[in-house]
Structure 1
Amino acid sequence: MDIASSPRFFRRGPKPLTRLLACGALSLGLLVADAKLHLLDPARGALTALLYPMQWLVTAPPEGLRQLDTFLTTQATLTHENQALRTYQLELEARLQRQAALQRENAELRQTLNLRSQHGGNTLPAEIVYTSRDPFTFTLIIDKGSMDGVQAGLPVIDARGLIGQITRVQPLTAEVTLLIERNHPVPVMIQRNGLRAVMYGMGGQAEIRHIAAHADVQVGDMLVTSGIDGVYPAGLPVAKVAMVDRNGGSPFARIVCTPLAGVGENRTLLVLNETLNLPPRPEAAPAPKTKSRRKRGSDE
């Protein structure tokens, strides 16, 4: 139908106010019907289902970017926290090891103080500052020397027994030769029966030499210093018999001993500044003179 030939009512339509009132009444009716009768729920559900793909397409890129940012941030945070925890763990392990070393050093100092009280005032605590560079030489360097009253020949002990002997003295340091040094002699005595002998170092262990095969020596016997020759004070624990080998083809027994002291374990030692006042050795008797035989022809 031609719009120009239609009546003016249909060409102009209702007035704006009439349209507003009609739309308002329709909206109000729909609201009341939806609130009371729930007439629009099926339509709303169908419309939501139709619009969901479009909604997902619109919200997917920002949501993906947000999740990616969260993932990257979480990974960086976890990596940083993991590195911090590893560093903290290493610090705690180092502190724990240091604490264990301090506890052991404290225990050694306590033992040294108790040992010093047992031996009286003629003792001097010392600390090991160097060890021998030669792996086949068993010597130590302590932080006490001639300025502290250390002299060559003084014995050095720890809480368990004899360590060795001062062999060389400098003003500020001194050298200690351990009793396991090769061919280093220590006069000893078997505590069980009083049998005297000389123990020699073997470069790691010790042995008793030149003792008869029938001598009363047993595995487990305790060896202490005999005090003979004034080298060491009598009664210091030295070693324990670890092996006795009586070979039938030799007149001497082979006796291997294990030192009682912590030869390679301690850091704090005790120097016994005890001088044994022994009488001087008696002079050796002169050898008898042999009478020369006269020749028969000398009297003629």
Structure 2
Amino acid sequence: MEYSPPPLFKQGASARVKMTVFACISIVLLLVDSQMRTLGTVRQVVGTVLHPLQMVALLPRDAIYGAGDYFSSLAEMKKQVDELKRQQIADAQALQQAQLRTAENNQLRRLMGAREQVPTKSMLAEVLYDARDASSRKIILNRGSNSDVSLGLPVIDNQGVVGQVTRVFPFTSEVTLLTDKDQAIPVQLLRNGLRSVAYGRGKIGSLELRFTAPNADIKVGDIVVTSGLDGIYPAGLAVARVTQVDSNANGAFGGVICQPLAGIQNNRQLLILMSPPEIAPRPPDEEPRVPRKGNNRMAPIKDPAKEEAPAAGAASAAAGSELIPKAPAAATPATTPVTGTPAVSTPAVTTPAARTPTAATPATVPANRAPATGAPAATPTKEPAR
């Protein structure tokens, strides 16, 4: 039995010979293809036939690359989403700041317009925070005594009156709002000039016109402005709008509710009126009259026509008294002096209208006539002529 090696291990031509043959074939094909362009169709046919095999062979590689790309793109997309979210938050904050700045600029522009219309000097202030007392309606401004802020100065915005400075510190000041329950301001209706006083209603946030007559000419929608009678608020500043009128015919007063026009709880910038309005000086006080001693009662008014009649009667009575001797001051009867000279009575003073008795006509009194005082009748005496 003849032994022969398996076909795999059979050796034909040497490897050197094979390499030389295949190299020559390759060179020939290259020359033929470069010169005659005859192998292009063969390459296309072979490439078309082998393409599915190439795709199948590349499937594992493509699957590995696809998985890597998927996970890397997922991480990249997550990173981009986080970055976009942060950018969105930053843009929203910037938008809010821009809107706030725009609102502040608009408010400042309106305040500057109101500042030009107000006749007095004013200063811009910013609200820092609300007061700590929850039961009151007060705010704190960033202006104090170092900025020449004093007590009682009014505070306004572009729409109307906000309140009044009630406390002053070196760098801040406290403002009591119009709606505070302890705040009052003299006002008048813009439509008919009816004067009244507006009182705050506390946490309700509105004003009330107290002590108004039930039949007062007040309508819903009327504008209430400052009257300027207190010497603090300039006249003509808008205060509130009438929202409710309660005319109670049975009561002595009617109820009027108003809503403030100013942005009391909205704005951050306000105006402080630095100088009060100019008021005409008061007239000088009259000097007190010093009453005379013993003349505490009022003197009656004298009528000249009525005074002439008693004067004429007194004159005629005085004229008749010269003809009648006077009674003695006491009850002692009249006697003559020791020397024997008859007693002479002093004649009564008469007015020029009375008639003077002549020397030849002695005045005699009947013996049976007694004095008016109840004294015994005296012996009639003869009055010598003057």
For normalisation by structure 2, the TM-score amounts to: 0.60
The 5 A counterparts of 1:268-287 are: 268-275=269-276, 276-277=278-279, 279=281
Q: Higher strand fraction: Structure 1 or Structure 2? A: 1
Partner in structure 1 of residue 244 of structure 2 = 243
Could you tell me which residue of structure 2 aligns to residue 228 of structure 1? 229
Q: 1:9: which partner in 2?
A: none
Matches within 5 A, 1:138-157: 138-157=137-156
Q: Following the alignment from structure 2 to structure 1, what is the Cα–Cα distance between the partners of residues 155 and 65?
A: 75
* Cα shift readout 1:185-229 (whole Å, capped 9, x = no counterpart): 110001111110000011211111110111100001111111113
Instruction: Tell me the SS of whatever aligns to 2:104.
Output: helix
Distance 1:194 1:36, change over 3 A: closer
* Cα distance between partner residues in 2 of 1:14 and 1:174: 114
1:69-84 paired onto structure 2 within 5 Å: 69-84=68-83
TM-score, structure 1 normalization: 0.76
Which runs of 5 or more residues in structure 1 are unaligned? 5-11, 286-290, 292-300
1:278 Cα deviation from its structure 2 partner: 5.2
Q: Larger C-alpha radius of gyration, 1 or 2?
A: 2
Partner of 1:181: 180
1:71-95 per-position Cα deviation (integer Å, ceiling 9, x unaligned): 0111011111111111111111111
Checking the alignment, whether the CA contact within 8 Å between 1:230 and 1:278 is kept in structure 2 is no
Match of 1:7 in 2: none
Give me the whole-angstrom Cα distance separating, in 2, the residues matched to 1:142 and 1:196.
Answer: 31
SS of the residue corresponding to residue 230 of structure 1 reads coil
2:158 is matched with: 159
Report the equivalent of 1:294.
none
SS of the residue 1:241 aligns to: strand
CA drift at 1:154:
1.1
What secondary structure sits across from 2:108 in the alignment? helix
Q: CA deviation at 1:169?
A: 1.0
One-letter amino acid matched to 2:226:
T
Tell me which residue corresponds to 1:213. Answer: 214
Paired residues of 2:166 and 2:175 also in contact (CA < 8 A): yes
Instruction: Label 1:190 to 1:120 Cα distance change in 2 as closer, same or farther (>3 A).
Output: closer
CA distance in 2, matches of 1:229, 1:36: 111
Range 131-140 or range 96-105, more displaced: 131-140
Shift in CA distance, 193/61, structure 1 to aligned 2, threshold 3 Å: same
Give the match's secondary structure for 2:181.
coil
The CA deviation string for residues 129-157 of structure 1, in whole angstroms up to 9 with x for no partner, is: 12123343211111111222211111111
Equivalent residues, number: 264
Gaps of 5+ in 2: 5-10, 289-296, 298-386
Residues 37 and 83 from structure 1, CA distance in 2 versus in 1: closer, same or farther, beyond 3 angstroms? Answer: closer
Please report the RMSD computed on the Cα atoms of aligned residues, expressed in angstroms. 3.7
Give the equivalent residue in structure 2 for 1:93.
92
Task: Name the CA distance, whole Å, in 2 between partners of 1:194 and 1:169.
Answer: 34
CA-to-aligned-CA distance 1:215-269 (integer Å, 9 cap, x gap) = 1000011111111132322111111101101233322111110111111111111
Q: Give percent identity, aligned residues only.
A: 36
Distance of aligned partners of 1:224 and 1:66 in 2 relative to their CA distance in 1, 3 Å threshold: same
Cα shift at 1:60:
3.4
Q: Structure 2 vs 1, CA of residues 125 and 2 (structure 1 numbering), >3 Å: closer, same or farther?
A: closer
Output the CA distance in 2 between the equivalents of 1:198 and 1:97.
41
Looking at structure 1, the residues matched to 226 and 55 of structure 2 have their Cα atoms a distance apart, in angstroms, of 98
Paired letter, 1:177: T
Distance 1:66 1:215, change over 3 A: same
Q: Which amino acid aligns with 2:222?
A: D
